[in-house]
Amino acid sequence: MNHYFLIINVGSTSIKSRLFTADLQTAAALAADYGAEGGMSIKGLGLQNESLTKTDPNCHDTCSALTAVLSLWRQLITEANVTLSAIGHRVVHGASWFDKVTPITPDVLQKLEQLDGYAPLHNPFNRLGITMAGDYFPTSRQFAVFDTAFHRHIPDYAGRYAIPEQLSTHVEFYRYGFHGISCQHSLLAAANLLGQKPEQLNLIVLHLGGGASATAIAKGISVDTSMGFSPTEGLMMASRCGDVDPMITLTLQREGKTSEQLDHLLNHQSGLRGICGDSDMRRVLQRAEQQDDAAQLALAMFCYRIKKYIGAYCAILGEISALVFTGGIGEYAVTVRETILTGLEPLGFTLNPQENLHCVGQNGIVSASSSRFPILVIQAEEERVCAQQILTYLDE
């Protein structure tokens, strides 16, 4: 009987899941998108390479989407009579407690619950995925793979905040960084595209999706990243504010806003949604093309902030091996890539418009021949990295 590994990646607006064989070949895949106005759509391929689709216009929440995805997985796995050896979960925040693949136990779940406040748009849903997967597949071992682990080597001068140490008895304020699993895959994929070793590469990785981040990688090691203590810091995102003057939140608190209201404001009502009312970049781009002022402003702000981080990380890294676009927006939104790169020729980045137009949802090089540094588009494959790490753990 064949052994398989199911990887579940619960994002802020989507669920990506893949079933891998023991030699890390994709046996089946399901992707659920529940962030659009039309409700949930599931697309994928089954174990017989059959096309799978499902829609539910009334599904807009993570629990309902997980129910649909896990029910379909149980049906597929049962019908194929395969052995599910392990289930892996991408977990966004591991703080300083978790820096490697970790088997799920009641104690681990209890510690993860304490991190909900660090990543309120992700960790509660990552835990929900673990709990629900345990209900659907009670005999399969479960593992957590942490986004923060890749950034554990950020130096203190980049990781510390300019505030007194040990302000809290409950949490440690530090730049933990996120999208680390995606960054690790981008590093490996970039090395393959460029024909170099990962430890030779200096990369700027832009993971642009519902959440967005920029990461500076020097000689294969993360040395700085835009997300910090929580995924709310850094770039402007779908509904998260990114960098904001802390006095704004203090002023709102003095005006009567509660901590819960501020949390909801910064994580759910800001970013693209706060500027134009839409959090889905696809909708923002449609409105911007129709000359909608609010959408055009949201798009301009989104791209402008990314430009600033590119410039900052060029200063940190010096020589750049490549600039990488990944994540749903990075892979598919050619207009966003073009807008970000316009004017960056003095920094060494020149786009090939035709290559950019045709490189959608696939790995490729979109820089012009005159570009000093390569510009890459890389499909995010966080699930494969999770499967590889779990397989390595089991083989030790």
Instruction: Write out the catalytic residue numbers.
Output: 147
Q: Cβ(185)–Cβ(165) under 8 Å? A: no
The DSSP bridge pattern shows strands 51-56 and 40-45 to be antiparallel
Structure tokens at 201: 């590469």
Q: Label residues 102-120 b or e (16+ Cβ within 10 Å = b).
A: bebeeebeeebeebeebbb
Rounded Cα distance between 182 and 189, Å, is: 10
Let me know how long the chain is: 396
Q: For residue 154, is it left (φ>0), alpha (ψ between -120 and 50) or beta?
A: beta
Phi, psi of 74 (to 5 degrees): -60, -40
d(CA 303, CA 298): 9
Q: How many helices (H) and strands (E) does the chain have?
A: 14, 14
Contact of 120 with 40, CB cutoff 8 Å: no
Q: At what angle do helices 106-113 and 123-136 cross, to 10 degrees?
A: 150
Q: What is the DSSP annotation of 150-205? A: GGTT--HHHHS-SS-S---SS-------S-HHHHHHHHHHHHHHHTS-GGG--EEE
Burial classification of residue 135, based on how many CB atoms lie within 10 Å of its CB (0-12 exposed, 13-18 middle, 19 or more buried) = exposed
Phi and psi at 87, nearest 5°, equal -120, 125
> Does an H or E element contain 322, and which?
strand 322-326
Q: Which of 119, 112, 140 is nearest to 8 (CA)?
A: 140
| 373 vs 298: CA distance, rounded Å | 28
